[in-house]
Structure 1
């Protein structure tokens, strides 16, 4: 009897035992590997709503030892289904089907990447997820792999803590590292004895260096220094609508181009934070900057060929090329502070900027300078009439201070 025939004979006997025990699964030999077939819940992303007959690769060799392991795997799987603890992520390797706890660290990270990006596709923000993975997660997973490889005596949990300690105390990198490694541990069903948030330290927006934002007059004058009309348009849209670098290239400008007086633009769902509408502040800048004439420069925006981050970097590099006196994000930050002067509610401004109210107030209110506060006070007083107790009626101001265009 050949080796293959002997294995098939043993496999037949094994399946007879599984059937007698009413396990609900059969083992199959597919080439030199073993898999099982039985009634399983829908896989992640499946359109099925009920369990169905499915095949699951065990990643085990078609050998006598592999058959013994396969029989034990069926018993474990059957118990998980009875206890309602079965989770497809324990078997998703991203390279076929196999157990997460039987993979090396590199394969586990690869499995997590597939799950992370697939989940993002289901919520319709794949571009943002790709940028998050590449910039926020992947660098710390590479660091984790390097530490684990250099210190094979460490368990994965110990390597995770070592990776966290390798980052600077009370830093943004420490915080992002903790977030990335916590996400990986959750995916792998690893229980960390100490929550990684304990290691975040005192880093926060209050520790960031205050920015000196350009005045509105400087913003208007700088626009005229840009020699290329396409990049003039990018600059002006960011200044007028407070957009992120990459968002300029992913907007619906139809209301603007149709001449509608409110001049609202819609940031599309392919961006970092999804669809949201934005109004101009100042409205006068729409005409001053000639924004009703769409003049976007030609760059690569196909997100199968590039990323939102690379598009944003292209904008930053153009600002440097033209030697502009401030960064692109200063235009966004100046827009945020400007809405405070206009008295726009934080909830509305935060929605237009595509982030939470907590982020909005924590980030932008700390940048209000004495000049900004004085302007806000004057605006508030000019809007109202006050009668101080015992003094009589007094009217403040003649209306809102108007911004004057400065030509360079």
Structure 2
């Protein structure tokens, strides 16, 4: 075979290999195939406790995992390109992906003595898994042009088209694909679905959907409000900006917000409020409101569980392990919080064990109602409705404090009981810092009096015991001397 024919064969072979469907078809498969198994074996450490620091720790762990998967996919893509003899590689530069290839000199490039040169082509492709799919497709297209010697510098490869594509979208246009983009880098769990639903709600409530998503427009809305609302908008819009890689950061500062004073109920008030459910039910006995007739006992049970265990309300509704709660093997009367809740799985010990019997928390009737309600949960929205129903029932029966105050009461009670801070914090499912802030913030004068009274009482008891011990020692010494005297007299 002549050298020319050999060259033609090699050229045809390369074109044929470039047209092979394996990797190219992979790049065109549905996005779900790329993301479905990304978090299959990923279990971030449950450091989050609902605080900003805890939430950011979990987000950071998820981002690191995503980046590791992305880097692995990038290596695999380049390996496949090399194996299939595509003369293009994909590289990451900052938040973008570029195609690297040896090409004819770019117009205006006056490199002396060269006809070809290695270039990095920026096509406006983001450095994420979705962008990597696009980069693979573009690598095949460019590889064909190189193999066929038909490459030409056009607007696309000069970067003109990619710059033109960066038109500014409206808030509404971003929201059309927000959920899809959001879950490209996150696990889809009950917790993350609830978080996303909150983000979406905040944006729709506060931003005109027809406004362009510019730095100026977003900052103007944020600076038009104050306090917790401003801080919430900063957090939510930061997620939106990062998700769509909008190319700017917010120059706004969070407001320092001092929480309004709230009086945490003592044990006497908590027990008294428990009985208000039955009083309400009796006062409504002749009504036809079936929901109130059938479910008040379940909501009273919910109240008792929150008071006894210091649970977050949703920790009773997300796949509750009722079998374990009622099991004869559950000798310590612990409640198992499902792994799909805010801070993951934990087994909670009752802060007031005697309330389990007092509030009849192992009664099967309210648990059967709970089980029927939980079976109907089809989305995170249903859980949010149940959570809001607790507050509604508090108001309905006349309770003057909030459901979360029962959780704060457990944190304070643990401190007064002398339970080590780490043990109490773990039981409540938050960090030691958050636990300390909770009981310090809501401790109140009455609880301080109790704490001082108990310490003083303990000190008084210790002092009394010391005096008793000293008196006994003196009495023993006196008796010892008497014995010695008697011995001497006997010897005389």
Q: TM-score, normalised by structure 1?
A: 0.66
1:186 aligns with 2:227: no
Distance in 1, matches of 2:18 and 2:219, equals 40
Corresponding residue to 2:215 among 144, 152, 157: 157
In the alignment, what sits opposite 2:445? Answer: 370
Corresponding residue to 1:220 among 264, 271, 276: 271
CA contact (8 A) 2:411 2:438 kept: no
In the alignment, what sits opposite 1:316? Answer: 391
In the alignment, what sits opposite 2:200? Answer: 138
Corresponding residue to 1:88 among 120, 129, 135: 129
Per-residue CA deviations over 1:223-259 (Å, capped at 9, x if unaligned) read 1232243222111111101112222223334155426
CA contact (8 A) 2:317 2:374 kept: no
SS in 2 for 1:43: helix
1:211 aligns with 2:202: no
Distance in 2, matches of 1:140 and 1:234, equals 29
Per-residue CA deviations over 1:197-226 (Å, capped at 9, x if unaligned) read x421212xxx11111122201211221232
1:252 aligns with 2:325: no
- Long gaps (5+) in structure 1: 1-15, 29-35, 54-74, 94-98, 396-408
Shift of residue 174, structure 1, vs aligned partner: 0.7
In the alignment, what sits opposite 2:309? Answer: 241
Corresponding residue to 2:177 among 111, 120, 125: 111
Shift of residue 376, structure 1, vs aligned partner: 1.9
Distance in 2, matches of 1:77 and 1:178, equals 35
Shift of residue 279, structure 1, vs aligned partner: 1.1
CA contact (8 A) 2:228 2:255 kept: no
**Higher Cα radius of gyration:** 2
Corresponding residue to 2:34 among 28, 36, 43: 43
SS in 2 for 1:212: coil
Shift of residue 394, structure 1, vs aligned partner: 5.7
In the alignment, what sits opposite 1:279? Answer: 349
CA contact (8 A) 1:109 1:184 kept: no
Within a 5 Å distance, the mapping from 1:10-21 to structure 2 comes to none
SS in 1 for 2:398: coil
Q: TM-score, normalised by structure 2?
A: 0.56
Shift of residue 304, structure 1, vs aligned partner: 2.6
Q: Higher helix share goes to which structure?
A: 2
Distance in 1, matches of 2:314 and 2:18, equals 51
Within a 5 Å distance, the mapping from 1:259-274 to structure 2 comes to 260-274=330-344
Distance in 2, matches of 1:145 and 1:212, equals 35
Corresponding residue to 2:411 among 332, 336, 352: 336
CA contact (8 A) 2:308 2:351 kept: yes
Shift of residue 127, structure 1, vs aligned partner: 1.8
CA contact (8 A) 2:408 2:438 kept: no
| Structure 1 residues 272 and 191: CA distance shift in structure 2, 3 A | same
Shift of residue 178, structure 1, vs aligned partner: 0.5
Distance in 1, matches of 2:362 and 2:465, equals 49
CA contact (8 A) 1:319 1:327 kept: yes
| Structure 1 residues 284 and 103: CA distance shift in structure 2, 3 A | same
Per-residue CA deviations over 1:118-148 (Å, capped at 9, x if unaligned) read 65536xxx2222222222x11343367516x
| Structure 1 residues 111 and 374: CA distance shift in structure 2, 3 A | same
Shift of residue 382, structure 1, vs aligned partner: 5.0
Shift of residue 271, structure 1, vs aligned partner: 2.3
| Structure 1 residues 144 and 255: CA distance shift in structure 2, 3 A | closer
SS in 2 for 1:277: strand
Per-residue CA deviations over 1:155-188 (Å, capped at 9, x if unaligned) read 622222122123x22x111111101111121222
